[in-house]
Structure 1
Amino acid sequence: MAVVSIVRYKPGGESLRRAIELCEGFAELKSHARVLIKPNVVIGDEKYRNFVKGVLTSVPVLEELIGLLREFGCQNITIGEGSITNEEMGLSTGTAFTLAGIGEMARRLGVNLIDFHQQGFVKIDLDGHQVEVAEAALEADFLINVPVLKTHVQTKVSLGLKNLKGTLSMTSRRIFHRYGVEKYIALLAGKLKPQLTVLDGLYTVNYGPVHYDYRELNLLVAGRDPLAADVVGSSILGIPPERVEHLVIYASLQGRRPSLEGIEVRGEKISQVAIRAEWETTWLQNIINSFGIKGIRAQTPGPSLCSGCMVTVNNVLRKFGREYSGATFDNIEICTGREPRPFKDSRLVFLFGNCSLESNPEVEGAIKVKGCPLSFAACYEALKKHAIPL
């Protein structure tokens, strides 16, 4: 029977120690092991300084984990991540580490810190597609997955299995979104098997993976079984695990069910700590509306929209919105990702990205911006040139 612990967090390390002890998290750990800690440091630079709590793995949790590992006798400890990169917007793993405070912590503690994008990738086959996975993640003796306990607008939750997507090259992440992100998250988790998962629930966030609507939970969830940890985490968020597609697929591949049956929960009871988190949102339209703009609409992209294009479109609309705050336009529509189809009454349609162009070849007179991933400058200049306010 899989064991998962839930512990209320208090600073100092004893909460994390108890969470790990309750689930026997170090049972397979050897003091000479090459330990890799994979946090969730999805994105970061100065533009994202207000999107830290509930979005990025907390420094205190990582620092306490390193202390416990060293107490165990481990010296070869590395923190590794592959954050969203975008040279045009100055986004890199380094900027994300800095924003999260992990760069400073690693220097202070003398811990190895690596950017997967700057290290080697190894190609592996996932259902007939060659994807690039960080060599460090494949070669670690003991992989500790430390995601945030949070929601996701495409996959409902972003927990342990989803966090492993951060070991991929940016090109391979686009493959995931093109051929079915939930399926490929499950397939990747079958190749990368963390020996320990610690869900950082000091804070959580609605409408993740990046949002400012956070709340304080002060929880830690730990388990040696990746599926069991995510099932408990999803249940705490109030999102039934059997409705989370990548959990369903991964469980099926393991000959299991994404259910609390067969999981022993130690520590706090789920019923005592569960909340109702929100994941579904019309996020693109919300950006437009937040600037009081009228006459522009944008359907919510589906799971085909990769993180690179998601970040680009998000930032383009925010810059455009600041410049045209309160303006009215003549029935303009913006489409991005494979799923949205323009409304027939839209006077002018913008198709952002190759996915949207491929899905809507019949739209006459559309402003087409090619890119995989999209260029911030190309999208912004297209809007400036063609989206003329009344």
Structure 2
Amino acid sequence: MARASVSIVKVTDIYESLQESLKLSDGLAGLNINDRILIKPNIVSWDFDLPFPPYGVVTTSVVIKALVRILAEHGFRDLTIGEGALPMLNPQWDAVYEALGYMKLQERYGVKLVDFNQGEFIPTDYGDGFRLEIAKQALEADKIINVPVLKTHNQAKVSLGIKNLKGCLNKKSKQSCHGVGDEELSLTFPRIIEKLPVALTIIDGLYTLEKGPGPTGKAFRKDLLIASRDPFACDLVGAEILGYPAKEVAYLTNYAKRHGYSMELADYELRGESVADHQEFVTYDWEWSEEDTGPAGFEKRGITGLAIRKYDSSLCTGCSVQYNPMLILLSSAFKGKPFPNVEVVSGKQQIAATGFDNSVLFGKCACHLNKNNVNVKKAIPLWGCPPDLKKFVEVLAKEGIECDYNEYVRFRHYLFDRYKENEGFKLADWSVE
């Protein structure tokens, strides 16, 4: 059996570098000129109301533009770009595509643009009682070109090609991937690809992100492209460059066992740059107190009377997007006095503990799980999937916990502004000229 090859290219000119990446990885060899090709970027979220830094979060438009141009020059005509982020995160999908410059690709090359959430989802049986509902457009494609971002993930350690396919699921199936036991995240999402015709993975490493997958993490310029016709090999190399051997990443270990892959880098053919020249450990998670009472920053500030249980892999994408904002809001309520003996639980498996006067149940899953919990003296349920932040402020205010929503707004401006003076951080990378 031939060794899977992976190309690693240092980016100079985007178009030329992608050409080189595809040449080294034989990336177009698995495609037929008449194929219906779906290009799947990573558009984890977008925001038109508050500043949103896409660095290391969203696939760059310059890479998508170069890919579409190359495919068109090779005679491919049936091209579609599709994504399916959570509906409440991207209510203006046409506007998102417009902001990313994809409408120009539609005009120039006839690329079709689809929002999976507006289309049909097909119930798909994976065996062993495991079922997911997958976007019809993804299942009907002849070939998929997967274009994720080179970033970390605070639940999965890294978020690369295999995880990017989670965007092909409907909301319910995305949530089911964040289960417990045999349905734990690292066991579920790696199976999505088994029913999808992924022919090529191109990891967009123009930027990389620590403490991802969202904009609360910190981005760095990396200028790499990693490509392979083998999705596992591509992810393995991406993880290694981020500083995580495959054996340390649960989903890669599970995928390798299920499909008979080696987890040793030496068993793959690397072309172009070496991993060692670009390998740098990128932190994937936030520091938490040893007592599991909240972020390390809360402890340093002397915040007491509040115990925030650390998120786990059962926290779905919707609630995880709101999780850091929730922390900012709670931090804004601290005025030097202890909180009124409050515990915050979230996800599908956190049980409110004894000894607290108030139990904040963050999100629908935590509310359902703790509905009849005898440990709870007073429940402060925050229903929603995910909870609304302004509602969060209103509900806690009734309990004497005065959060300042403006602090969250200022935080969003800070996240954006911290890149303004940084050389190499260009919003033009998310536009099409």
TM-score by length of 1: 0.90
2:156 is matched with 155
- Indicate which of 369, 372, 386 corresponds to 2:381: 369
1:15 aligns with 2:27: no
Would the aligned equivalents of 1:143 and 1:193 in 2 still touch at CA under 8 Å? yes
**AA matched with 1:382:** V
Would the aligned equivalents of 1:149 and 1:201 in 2 still touch at CA under 8 Å? yes
Would the aligned equivalents of 1:293 and 1:326 in 2 still touch at CA under 8 Å? no
1:181 aligns with 2:194: no
1:111-150 map, 5 Å: 111-126=111-126, 127-150=128-151
Would the aligned equivalents of 2:360 and 2:382 in 1 still touch at CA under 8 Å? no
1:315/1:84 Cα in 2 relative to 1: closer, same or farther (>3 Å)?
Answer: farther
1:212 positional shift? 4.1
**1:151-174: per-residue Cα shift (whole Å, max 9, x none)?**
000000000000000100011111
**AA matched with 2:124:** I
Distance 1:259 1:48 in 2: 43
**AA matched with 1:258:** M
Distance 1:287 1:82 in 2: 34
Distance 2:93 2:336 in 1: 36
**AA matched with 1:7:** V
1:302 aligns with 2:303: no
2:195 is matched with 191
2:86 is matched with 84
1:102 positional shift? 4.1
1:340 positional shift? 3.5
1:259 positional shift? 2.6
Distance 1:380 1:195 in 2: 46
Would the aligned equivalents of 1:44 and 1:97 in 2 still touch at CA under 8 Å? no
**AA matched with 2:360:** F
1:48/1:238 Cα in 2 relative to 1: closer, same or farther (>3 Å)?
Answer: farther
Would the aligned equivalents of 1:305 and 1:338 in 2 still touch at CA under 8 Å? yes
1:1-390 map, 5 Å: 1-46=3-48, 49-86=51-88, 91=91, 93-94=93-94, 96-98=96-98, 101-109=100-108, 110-126=110-126, 127-178=128-179, 179-210=183-214, 211-282=216-287, 285-286=294-295, 289=298, 294-295=303-304, 296-319=306-329, 321=331, 324=333, 326=335, 328=337, 329-342=339-352, 344-360=354-370, 361-369=373-381, 371=383, 373-376=385-388, 378-388=391-401
Query: Which sits farther off after the overlay, 27-36 or 378-387?
Result: 378-387
**1:115-141: per-residue Cα shift (whole Å, max 9, x none)?**
000111111023414321011111111
Task: Report the identity percentage.
Answer: 34
For structure 1, list consecutive stretches of 5 or more residues without a partner in the other structure: none
1:293/1:347 Cα in 2 relative to 1: closer, same or farther (>3 Å)?
Answer: farther
Secondary structure of the 1:51 match is coil
Secondary structure of the 1:363 match is coil
1:92/1:129 Cα in 2 relative to 1: closer, same or farther (>3 Å)?
Answer: farther
Distance 2:245 2:141 in 1: 32
1:260 positional shift? 1.4
For structure 2, list consecutive stretches of 5 or more residues without a partner in the other structure: 404-433
2:407 is matched with none
Secondary structure of the 2:149 match is coil
Would the aligned equivalents of 1:154 and 1:303 in 2 still touch at CA under 8 Å? yes
1:51/1:259 Cα in 2 relative to 1: closer, same or farther (>3 Å)?
Answer: farther
Would the aligned equivalents of 1:305 and 1:336 in 2 still touch at CA under 8 Å? yes
Count of matched residue positions in the alignment of Structure 1 and Structure 2:
386
Would the aligned equivalents of 1:146 and 1:200 in 2 still touch at CA under 8 Å? yes
**AA matched with 1:335:** V
**AA matched with 2:231:** P
Secondary structure of the 2:341 match is strand
Would the aligned equivalents of 2:239 and 2:245 in 1 still touch at CA under 8 Å? yes
